[in-house]
Amino acid sequence: MDHVLIEALEVDTVIGVYDWERTIRQRLRLDLELATDIRPAAQADDIHLTLDYAAISERIANFADAHHFALVETFAERLADTLRQEFAIDWLRLSVRKPGAVANAASVGVRITRGQA
């Protein structure tokens, strides 16, 4: 299985467990690996035969704009489920990082893997 990559995608959303965090938008940084067979798309040179990373990136931005969660874990789980359903993705690995959330750490976050490769 091949992997389509989207790395260091940044989105702004309302996320956090503290009251003050619920009043501002914060940046999240995402890395995705999406399993697919790229051979049909490569043979035909046809975007419709692969995972369209531009469309997926746009969907992620819309998701982040429309949803507000307390936990990065919830954001990751719900986003993974949305992408798998809407883009027929059998397997994905998603990392969600929240830069600056903890003093002396570049970022904190989660990495999840869902589906069968």
Cα 32 to its chain centre, rounded Å, is: 6
Asked if 98 is an active-site residue, the reply is yes
Question: Which residues 6+ apart lie within 8 Å of 66 measured at CB?
Answer: none
Tokens 């989105």, residue located:
11
Read out DSSP for 50-109?
Answer: S--HHHHHHHHHHHHHH-EES-HHHHHHHHHHHHHHHTT-SEEEEEEEEETSSTT-SEEE
Catalytic residue (choose from 98, 107, 114, 117)? 98
User: What single-letter amino acid sits at 7?
Assistant: E
| Residues tagged active-site | 98
